[in-house]
Amino acid sequence: MPLRPENRVLLVEQTDNPMAKSSLESSWQRFITMAMREDVIEKQDRFFLHGLKHRGVTDTVSNRGDKQDAASHQSPAKTGRYDLDLPVVKPPRRR
- What residue segments make up the domains of the chain, in order of their start? 19-44, 50-83
Residue-level pLDDT at 5: 78
Q: What is the 3-state secondary structure (H, E, C) of 44-93?
A: HHCCCCCHHHHHHHHHCCCCHHHHHHHHCCCCHHHHHHHCCCCCCCCCCC
What is the mean pLDDT of the segment spanning 44-67?
A: 90
How far is 1 from 8, CA to CA, in rounded Å? Answer: 7
User: For residue 36, what pLDDT is reported?
Assistant: 96
pTM for the predicted model, two decimal places: 0.62
> In angstroms, rounded to a whole number, what is the distance separating the alpha carbons of residues 30 and 6?
29
Percentage of the residues of the chain whose pLDDT score is greater than 70: 99
- Chain-centre distance of CA 12, in angstroms? 18
Query: 3: pLDDT confidence band, cut at 50, 70 and 90?
Result: confident
